[in-house]
Amino acid sequence: MNDTGLTIAMYLVAIYFIVAQIFMLYFWYIIAQIHGFAYTIFIGPFEAEIKGLLWPFLYKIMEEYTAKDVIKTLKDVIPIHKTRKRLYIDKRNYLICILYYKFNYTEKMIEDIFSLTKNIIDRTTVNYAKKQPTHMVKFNDSQFLENISILYKQFPFKIPETNFIKFIDKKVTITLSSEQLCAIANFAEKMI
Q: How far is CA 38 from the centre of its chain?
A: 19
Over residues 92-130, the pLDDT tens digits come to: 999 999 999 988 899 999 998 888 777 788 889 999 999
pLDDT at 114: 83
Predicted confidence (pLDDT) per residue in 30-65, tens digit: 777 667 788 889 988 998 888 888 877 766 555 578
pLDDT confidence band for 142 (50 / 70 / 90): confident
Q: Which of 112, 111, 76, 110 is nearest to 91 (CA)?
A: 76
Q: For the chain, what is the mean pLDDT?
A: 84
* Residue-wise DSSP of 11-48: HHHHHHHHHHHHHHHHHHHHHHHHS-HHHHHHTHHHHH
Q: Per-residue pLDDT for 167 more than 60? A: no
**Residue 111 CB: number of other CB atoms within 10 A?**
18
Q: What are phi and psi of 172, to 5 degrees?
A: -115, 125
Q: Which residues of 67-106 are buried (b: 16+ CB within 10 A; e: fewer)?
A: beebbebbeebbeeeeeeeeebbbbbbbbbbbbbbbeebe
The yes-or-no verdict on residue 182 having pLDDT over 80 is: yes
Mean pLDDT, range 13-19, rounded to an integer: 90
Question: What residues have CB less than 8 Å from 176, skipping those under 6 apart?
Answer: 184
Instruction: Assess contact for 126 and 111: CB atoms under 8 A.
Output: yes
Q: Which residue has the higher pLDDT, 58 or 5?
A: 5
Weakest-pLDDT range from 33-37, 155-159, 171-175? 33-37
What mean pLDDT do residues 138-166 have?
82
- For residue 146, is pLDDT > 70? yes
Give residue 28's pLDDT band: very low, low, confident or very high (50, 70, 90).
confident
CA distance 91 to 86: 8
User: Domains of the chain: which residue ranges?
Assistant: 2-58, 67-154
Is residue 161 pLDDT above 60, yes or no? yes
pTM of this prediction exceeds 0.75: no
